[in-house]
Chains A and B, each alone.
Chain A
Amino acid sequence: MDVYLPIANLSVNGIIIVGLGALTGILSGMFGVGGGFLTTPLMIFYGIPPTVAAASAASQVTGASVSGVFAHAKRGNVDYLMGSVMVFGGIVGTGLGALLFNLLARLGQIDTVINILYVVMLGSIGGLMAKESIQAIRAERSGVPIAAKKRRHHPMVASLPMRWRFYRSGLYISPLAPLLLGIFTGILTMLMGIGGGFILVPAMLYILGMSANVVVGTSLWQILFTTIATTMMHSMTTHAVDIVLASLLLLGSVTGAQLGAQFAQKASPVKLRLILALIVLLVAARMALGLGYRPDEIYTVAPL
């Protein structure tokens, strides 16, 4: 089934794109991450221009996170105050990201920066997750529980001025910490076309020290609004959101997300995290290889 994409200016096989969406949707439903980290590189690999891929992936993440937000909100698992501070930071971040995007595009270094960001972010977070889940699996087998962490959150968070009470998260910390986290993920969302879930979740757990039960719900809340802001920002600056491409991806991913959520209820969470860590590391390794090997295309064309 050939579909002509009006913004990307080329024709693609619609079934492949829907399948790609479904694959990332399943991941997102299973692990509570947006899956953008997989969609964008795969679309680029398929031949869709990088800017269009990153811009359209954001709206796919929006769709995949909507039903998750509803489900978590119903169970009271969203810290709205914390989430809103991060959303505010996220919107500021997408604005900064748009400036950076334009600057890097003009310098002709945007693709390299996106690639390096992928390798560094995915590599470090995938490594951390893999280490943690292996430790957890070992502890489960030997029956010796992992020693509890000594401190709640990172000392840098405690040193920030001004403190607010975040009841649902069980925290009394400076709002600057979630704000900065929001800005950081906003920039990454704009540059990499990802939701940022795989960065937010560990950061909320280990840097902010939020209660585990509100982490996923709040991160989905932040992702929902940050990706909406990203879609708006791309529509107004790069004009690269391809609504036909996004709809195809969404078709796959919203269905996949539901299926993934059902799988997730049956599987062991520790093993799920190990699998996710391995997938993340695999993508990082593939991108690292791409940087070092001679690329297929030495020359690239951009309008003057």
Chain B
Amino acid sequence: MRGAVTSVLAVLVWVVLCAARDPILVPEVSQHEVALQQGFTGTELLLFGAILTPEGSRAAQDYDIVIVLKGPTQSIVLREKQKVAGIWINADSTELRSAPSYYAIASTRPIKDIVDDKTAAIYELGLKWLQLSPIGAIDPKEQTRFANGLVDLNRRIGLYREEEGGVKVSEQVLYQARIGLPSRVPIGTYTAETFAISKGRVVASASSQVEVRKLGLERAVATFAEDYGFAYGLLAVFVSVGMGWLAGRLFAMR
């Protein structure tokens, strides 16, 4: 909290020194930690905040607000199935060094009405503009095909989202957006970035972080399985033999 105050003050000082007319963004997230444990079936984050003029009053002019929530990037192999000799097999693949494991964007209006393509590409505003960093020389056409495939796949399982009109601004000062996280959300540090855009130009931006992690028993199980494979295997065998034996005994008693 003190850090936030200091940074707001720093922004204020900087703004006064520059004597610019850029607005101030004060963003906040409903929860800074998402716990994956029993009963977790997905959740919804509320990203909200205020937009003020440098003088501290409500922003006189209308700004467009864009909020991007991004999960940790991953290096992945993306494979494509094609029909070969009558059956569908993985026939082509590409390696991507920075595919976001989660990406959601919400905006007050459709992105294409807010900024031009160049700005959208610079700030990665929209699924169309994800910078996936493919490895090796791939021709742009093929790159686009793979990128579209990845976006389509992740959209359908709820890991990539685009909500145009998802940000509501009230009284020209408060904005809010709800962004859903599905149950299969990957763990890691997520960044929520808020952009204030006016006349096609990003005039202010601010970011905050959300930590997604496994907690309690689920965390213990995942760590155990990863670090102590042999003991974990023994436990799994013990559970299965024990349950089979127990059921046999219970039924034999009847």
Say whether B236 contacts A231, CB under 8 Å: yes
Say whether A246 contacts B239, CB under 8 Å: yes
Which residues 284-298 in A have Cβ within 8 Å of B in the complex? 291-295, 297-298
How many pairs of residues, A versus B, come closer than 8 Å at their CB atoms? Answer: 180
| A250-B243 contact in complex given A231-B233, A302-B76, C-beta closer than 8 Å | yes
In angstroms, how far is the closest chain B Cβ from the Cβ of A11? 4
Task: Find B183's partner among A10, A247, A298 (CB 8 Å cutoff).
Answer: A10
Q: What A residues does B75 contact at CB under 8 A?
A: 303-304
Interface string of B200-243 (1 = CB under 8 A from A): 00000000000000100111011001100110111111011101
Could you tell me how many residues of chain B have their Cβ less than 8 Å away from some Cβ of chain A?
60
Say whether A70 contacts B90, CB under 8 Å: no
Closest residue on chain B to residue A8 by CB atoms: B184
Q: Does A243 contact B (CB under 8 A)?
A: yes
Say whether B89 contacts A109, CB under 8 Å: yes
Which residues 236-272 in A have Cβ within 8 Å of B in the complex? 236-237, 239, 241, 243-244, 246-247, 250-251, 254-255, 257-258
Q: What B residues does A232 contact at CB under 8 A?
A: 230, 233-234, 237
Say whether B222 contacts A108, CB under 8 Å: no
Say whether B225 contacts A9, CB under 8 Å: no
Q: What A residues does B87 contact at CB under 8 A?
A: 112, 116, 291-292
In angstroms, how far is the closest chain A Cβ from the Cβ of B132? 12
| A254-B243 contact in complex given A235-B233, A239-B229, A297-B153, C-beta closer than 8 Å | yes
Say whether B233 contacts A234, CB under 8 Å: yes
Task: Find B245's partner among A70, A241, A244, A292 (CB 8 Å cutoff).
Answer: A70
Say whether B80 contacts A254, CB under 8 Å: no
Could you tell me how many residues of chain A have their Cβ less than 8 Å away from some Cβ of chain B?
56
A60 to B152: give the CA distance in the assembly, Å: 34
Interface string of B90-103 (1 = CB under 8 A from A): 10010101010000
Q: Does B81 contact A (CB under 8 A)?
A: yes
Say whether A235 contacts B222, CB under 8 Å: no
Q: A7-B225, A257-B247 are in contact. List 13 more A-B contacts (CB 8 A).
A: A2-B39, A6-B221, A7-B221, A9-B184, A63-B244, A64-B244, A236-B233, A239-B229, A247-B243, A299-B78, A300-B78, A302-B77, A303-B77
A-B contact pairs, 22 of them (CB 8 A): A3-B38, A4-B36, A4-B183, A9-B184, A10-B183, A11-B40, A70-B245, A71-B248, A108-B77, A112-B89, A231-B233, A232-B234, A235-B232, A239-B229, A244-B221, A250-B243, A255-B247, A291-B87, A299-B81, A299-B152, A301-B79, A304-B97
* Chain A residues in the interface with B (C-beta under 8 A): 2-4, 6-7, 9-11, 59-60, 62-67, 70-71, 108-109, 111-112, 116, 228, 231-237, 239, 241, 243-244, 246-247, 250-251, 254-255, 257-258, 291-295, 297-304
* Chain B residues in the interface with A (C-beta under 8 A): 36-42, 74-81, 83, 86-90, 93, 95, 97, 99, 146, 149-150, 152-153, 183-184, 186, 214, 217-219, 221-222, 225-226, 229-230, 232-237, 239-241, 243-248, 250-251
